[in-house]
Chains A and B, each alone.
Chain A
Amino acid sequence: MTDKKFSLKRLFEFYDEVLSLPHKNEVARELRDEDDLFLLLVYSDLLGIPNPAFYYTLELYPYIIEKFHDWHLRMGMEKSPLDGIRCC
């Protein structure tokens, strides 16, 4: 930030950034909670909860597999709960 030239626009951006910091975190938390629920639904069949849309959710795996490790850690599972996915 300091290496950029000072301007009024930059000042407003900085001011906005200061004030919106906690809100960004809360909105991110809210969105992450929604995502977590969605991931639970997607992985539900592998966790033993019958899921009629299993074949469709299977198609999503390549897109969400990267999030899987963080998700199971957040859900309080230190190791991957699924035999099929061995992230750690």
Chain B
Amino acid sequence: MSAIWLAVGGMIIFTLGYKYYSKFIAEKIYRLDPNFKTPAHQYKDGVDFVPTNKFVLWGHHFTSVAGAAPIVGPAIAVYWGWLPAILWVLLGTVFAAGVHDFGTLVLSVRNKGQSVGTLADKLIGQRAKVLFLFIILLLVLMVNAVFAWVIANLFISFPASVLSVFIQIPLAIWIGYSVYKRKGNMLLPSIVALAVMYLAAVVASGVPALQIDLVRYFGGEGASVLFGLDATSMAFFVWIMVLMIYVYIASTLPVWKLLQPRDYINSHQLLVGLGLLYLGMLFTNPEITAPVSNSSADTSWFPLLFITIACGAISGFHGLVASGTSSKQLNKETDARFVGYLGAVGEGALALVAIIAVITFFPSTAEFSATYSGFAAASGEGLGVFIQGAGVLASGLGIPASVAATIVSVIVVSFAATTLDSSVRLMRYIIAELGTEYNVKPLTKTHVATTVAVVSSACLTLIPEGPNGFGSGGYLLWPLFGTSNQLLAGISLLLISIWLKRQGRNYWPAFIPMAFLMFMTLYAMILQVLTQWAPWAEQSDWLLFSFGAIVLVFALWILFTAFSAIFNSDKDSIEKSA
């Protein structure tokens, strides 16, 4: 079957979801009011609270939420066949992610633009806020570890991409300064920066001397380097250390100096990436070679599929963006449908094309099954397969597949690096906030908080042992990342349900996806913690067991607290504010 049909079918479902389901949600459930004075108008200050055109705000919201995660998850989950992955992405986006992103935006707009964390405090209680902070802390810790591994892994697999990624840093600083000091325009310099990066990628693809290949420098695969480490392990170690030093500096600098100009260049890359893949697909008209479903899987798809694909189907991180920045810039309350729901649809479209790139890459089903031989193999290889598959799709536009693969790896590394920057910064803020909450003064200092964030992330990235030894097992943390992300989404949906119930409205459209998500997340977690990672299990792993157990305890705790709140008829200030 041609993959184009899959893309067309997916787009039709997304369109129907936006046209009918989001309209029903907007009119009957959230009851948007075009005359409601949004926080952007109420607290207008020209900095945080700025009324913004809905198309502009959607663009910004989408580029903030789209990253490497909707690519990594689907690239692993196709192990269970393409049908379960596609169904979860489509139905998850339409019925869960759309309602969640849209809902957190409306909830925040109706409550002075406050973030979901603060709203948890108001709706459930003080303990919920602290629990919420701990869950976000775990989430960002997982994000740091997983994305540091993703970048190190891609640097080792695609050494031609290293040069471009490092060239981006001085270019971003230059753009940041030119905009800040000279009030210059960003568009042209950022396009020049992008051109320089891609030129470096093209040149490095053809000139091995420009490929920074640490494994080769250390004597090639299998060579012993230091302390009994082989070349690949040593390369992982060096890259992870370099990345950690980089994020330390990046996350303590003012955002306008490095983070935002990088974001700006990466936003072009999102467009380039989506364009390359969707247009390339039209020209190559690829056949699907992956199996529809995998009946001989060594790990059951139920319930693991629902945490393997987090971003792309539903993601709690979107709620943080929706309630953290977008809600403060919404011009009219009715714009929330366009910005929130379509933001989720954009992410779904990215996940859809990621799935297509992987399931059309292999020439035959047998070769697909040989690479995706087990869940662990799928987790380790998935992203590399996506990049090569995306390279093949892009070759439809006349770009040689190897050059296209280097460019796609530059795009994925750039996304992952931006996510890593922001998440280390976020972790620093949370550590400082917890320091204030528990009166631990040193933690409120920038450099102490950043050191704690960076050192804990580095340890977590280096500890898991993968097939290539020390540092190469970061992908083992992916289910934990998915769990904490889904948990966050579940809690946000729960907050929306509580709010709707207190308004006396139909809360089922938020409650049903919440119950589904919470059940799947907790079930997957209990299954993994107790039967897979526990000390008495076959593949026992203390690290994963401890982290899994902590996430599980937090999840159950916050659920009990929240459920007691949902059935509590005591109405608080939140209702009056709405």
Interface residues of A (CB under 8 A from B): 1, 12, 14-23, 25-30, 32, 70
Contact = CB atoms under 8 A, between A and B. Distances in A.
B60 A21 contact: yes
B47 A29 contact: yes
B60 A27 contact: no
A15 B59 CA distance: 8
Contacts of B187: 12, 15-16, 19-20
Contacts of A18: 55-56, 59-60, 63, 267
A53 B239 CA distance: 54
Contacts of B329: 21
Given A27-B179, A27-B180, A30-B254, A21 B186 contact: no
Contact of A23 (B50, B56, B63, B261): B261
A22 B56 CA distance: 11
B55 A1 contact: yes
B256 A21 contact: no
Nearest to A16: B187
Contacts of B55: 1, 14, 18
Contact of B255 (A14, A15, A26, A28): A26
B287 interface: no
Interface in B91-142: none
Interface string B42-57: 0001111010110111
A17 B261 CA distance: 14
Interface string B294-309: 0000000000000000
B113 to A, nearest CB: 13
Contacts of A23: 179, 186, 256, 260-261, 264
Contacts of A22: 60, 64, 260, 263, 325
Given A14-B56, A19-B190, A22-B260, 4 more contacts: A12-B187, A19-B63, A19-B268, A29-B48
A82 B548 CA distance: 56
The SS class assigned to the A binding surface is helix
- Chain A CB within 10 Å, residue with most, of B256, B263, B264: B256
B48 A25 contact: yes
A64 B325 CA distance: 29
B253 to A, nearest CB: 12
A67 to B, nearest CB: 12
B46 A28 contact: yes
Contact of B264 (A17, A19, A25, A32): A19
Contacts of B60: 18-19, 21-22
B59 A19 contact: yes
B185 interface: yes
Contacts of B63: 18-19
Interface of B: 45-48, 50, 52-53, 55-57, 59-60, 63-64, 179-180, 185-187, 190, 254-256, 260-261, 263-264, 267-268, 325, 329
Contacts of A17: 53, 56
B47 A32 contact: yes
Given A23-B179, A27-B180, A30-B256, A16 B185 contact: yes
A7 B63 CA distance: 23
4 smallest CB-CB distances across A and B, nearest first, come from: A18-B59, A26-B256, A16-B187, A21-B60
A25 B325 CA distance: 11
A25 B46 CA distance: 7
Given A14-B56, A27-B256, A20 B47 contact: no
B50 A25 contact: yes
8 contacts: A1-B55, A14-B55, A19-B63, A19-B187, A20-B187, A21-B59, A22-B325, A30-B256
Nearest to B265: A19
A21 B256 CA distance: 12
A20 to B, nearest CB: 5
A12 B329 CA distance: 22
A20 B45 CA distance: 18
A26 to B, nearest CB: 4
Contacts of A1: 53, 55
Contacts of B56: 14, 17-18, 21
Contacts of B186: 16, 19-20, 23
Contact of A26 (B59, B185, B260): B260
Nearest to B50: A25
B53 to A, nearest CB: 6
Contacts of A25: 47-48, 50
Contacts of A26: 254-256, 260
Contacts of A14: 55-56
A5 to B, nearest CB: 16
Nearest to A32: B47
Contacts of A21: 52, 56-57, 59-60, 329
- Chain B CB within 10 Å, residue with most, of A14, A25, A27: A25
B523 to A, nearest CB: 38
B267 A19 contact: yes
Contacts of B59: 15, 18-19, 21
Contacts of B57: 21
A29 B268 CA distance: 24
B53 A28 contact: no
B179 to A, nearest CB: 6
Nearest to B181: A27
A44 B56 CA distance: 41
Contacts of B53: 1, 17
B574 to A, nearest CB: 23
Nearest to A12: B187
Contacts of A12: 187
Given A16-B186, A16-B187, A18-B60, A28 B47 contact: yes
